[in-house]
Structure 1
Amino acid sequence: MKQIATLLACSLPLTGIAADMRFTGKATPPDSDNVIYEERHVVEGECTGGLFRPTSQTVTYVRGDANTFAKKTLTYDQSPLRPSVDFQQPGFNEVMDIRNRNDSELDIKWQTPEGNTETSTVAITEKLVVDAGFDNFVRRYWSEVTSGETVAFDFLAPTRSKAYGFVLEPTDDDRINAAHTVRIEPSGTILSFLVDPILLGYNENGALTDYLGLTNIRKDKDSNYRAHIRYTVETTPDCELTR
């Protein structure tokens, strides 16, 4: 009977075990050590088959004495690459709401700093990545990235209600002190003249250590901060981030 019970247990489908990941990022200007703001991330998810899968994420943006000035919540119930997003910057009266509808289309509602509300719909393709889904995208293609391959994808520009072609590729840059450094840049020639590449750093386990590039935090009504964000991982799930 004991052997039968063991065989039955081994044949049952693996169920997820609740897990989370917490990390904090300090954003500084690319050429300075003066902290502009902090990002406090809490990613909730589950370990299934020894691999971590995120289900939701909250990001709290703080300055100085822990004064919260912006907040973002993400839900990965439809796809780890295309979360639904609710991002608010009250100081600029700005709200960006992105809803993933059955992983077939995105409904976008943007309350602009000027006080207008713009709505749009974007069709979803398998290559589309949304917001912080880029982090999960890197881990999904971890073996390709760490072996020197280039991966093409589309990234959503929600304020333009459009997705643009980008490539993800390994690189070396002395500004990033990490086990692995990757670069995200536009695949189109014209856009490459308008958009600077983004550099990302990862440790050996697949956790984000660095972000260098344009952020989603406004410097003023007309521009966002460009920053180097260095992350400190506080807790990790009891399973692998990559495979």
Structure 2
Amino acid sequence: MKTGTFLLACTLPLSAGAAEMRFTGQATPLNGNNVLYEERHVVTGKCTEGLFRPASHNVTYVRSNGETFGEKTLSYEQSPLRPTMTFRQPGFNEVMEIRNRDDAKLEIEWQTPEGDTENSTVEVTQELVADAGFDNLVRNHWPEVTSGDRIEFDFLAPTRGKAYGFVLEPTEDDRIDAAHTVLIEPSSTLLSFLVDPILLGYNENGALTNYLGLTNIRKDKDSNYTAHIRYAVETAPDCELTR
């Protein structure tokens, strides 16, 4: 989204029943306090029967000097767990697109930093989760999350063009200061040797407060940042996030 269009959208009144959530995340190294970058999130949706239903999600990635270096747009029109998504990191000439086709299949187009274009298709199952859909997965299963239950799902790895089995379950970790902490890790023992777990923190209302693990932000052409991102809610919808 161009800056002018974004600012104009922010000045227009929300339509009847519409709601908005704004939050900002600061990413730091796992063993340091210097800010690597900042995420600025705007989620729009509706309050339906007292519950927030997200419709679109925009993220701007900003360096400490104020430079915008990445943008992501998501649409939850087809599914809150499997959004249509476009993610751009211009500094690496990289674009990742995931298109949800009637919630029957996900079409992936990846413009790699090397200048190649890779295409793949993944058939949708009810267990499939893509990108920021993990946040809605947690809220959709809030009673299980807060009571200690284990949730199994498949998570899309778009650069590989396939999904892998994962589990989400409550845990405790001194690095996460939150009302509820959950762990996401591969369900396969073999894959667990290759993929480090991710820790998430949530407040009592179901808003994300912490993310600790591998990010989708490039450190260089060959690797991404591993970071601890701490989130602060600036504007919350006038309805519940969970039920």
Q: Which band: TM-score by shorter chain?
A: over 0.9
Specify the alignment match of 1:43 in structure 2.
43
Q: Partner amino acid for 2:202? A: Y
Matched, 1:146 2:154: no
Q: Distance in 1 between matches of 2:63 and 2:167?
A: 33
Specify the alignment match of 2:3 in structure 1.
none
Specify the alignment match of 1:204 in structure 2.
204
Matched, 1:63 2:80: no
The equivalences for 1:74-93 within 5 A come to 74-93=74-93
Q: Partner amino acid for 1:101? A: R
Q: CA RMSD in A?
A: 1.0
Q: Partner amino acid for 1:93? A: N
1:159 is paired with a residue whose SS is coil
Cα offset, 1:66, TM superposition: 1.8
Specify the alignment match of 1:30 in structure 2.
30
Greater than 3 Å deviation, 4+ residue runs: none
Q: Distance in 1 between matches of 2:83 and 2:222?
A: 26
Q: Distance in 1 between matches of 2:80 and 2:120?
A: 22
Q: Distance in 1 between matches of 2:128 and 2:107?
A: 14
Specify the alignment match of 1:157 in structure 2.
157
TM-score (norm 2): 0.93
Q: Partner amino acid for 2:194? A: L
- Please, which runs of 5 or more residues in structure 2 have no aligned partner? 1-15
- Radius of gyration: which is bigger? 1
- Please, which runs of 5 or more residues in structure 1 have no aligned partner? 1-15
Specify the alignment match of 2:194 in structure 1.
194
Specify the alignment match of 1:4 in structure 2.
none
Q: Distance in 2 between matches of 1:30 and 1:81?
A: 28
Specify the alignment match of 1:6 in structure 2.
none
Q: Distance in 1 between matches of 2:194 and 2:142?
A: 28
Q: Distance in 2 between matches of 1:148 and 1:240?
A: 21
1:160-213 CA deviation, whole Å, 9 max, x = no partner?
000000000000000000000000000001100000000000000000000000
Specify the alignment match of 2:12 in structure 1.
none
Q: Distance in 1 between matches of 2:174 and 2:41?
A: 26
Specify the alignment match of 2:213 in structure 1.
213
TM-score (norm 1): 0.93
Cα offset, 1:65, TM superposition: 2.8
Q: Distance in 1 between matches of 2:100 and 2:140?
A: 20
Cα offset, 1:236, TM superposition: 0.5
Q: Distance in 1 between matches of 2:66 and 2:80?
A: 29
Q: Partner amino acid for 1:185? A: E
Specify the alignment match of 1:233 in structure 2.
233
1:70 is paired with a residue whose SS is strand
Q: Partner amino acid for 2:91? A: G
Q: Partner amino acid for 1:92? A: F
Specify the alignment match of 2:121 in structure 1.
121
Cα offset, 1:17, TM superposition: 1.0
Q: Distance in 2 between matches of 1:94 and 1:88?
A: 6
Taking every aligned residue pair, what percent have the same amino acid on both sides? 75
1:131 is paired with a residue whose SS is coil
Residue-pair matches, total: 229
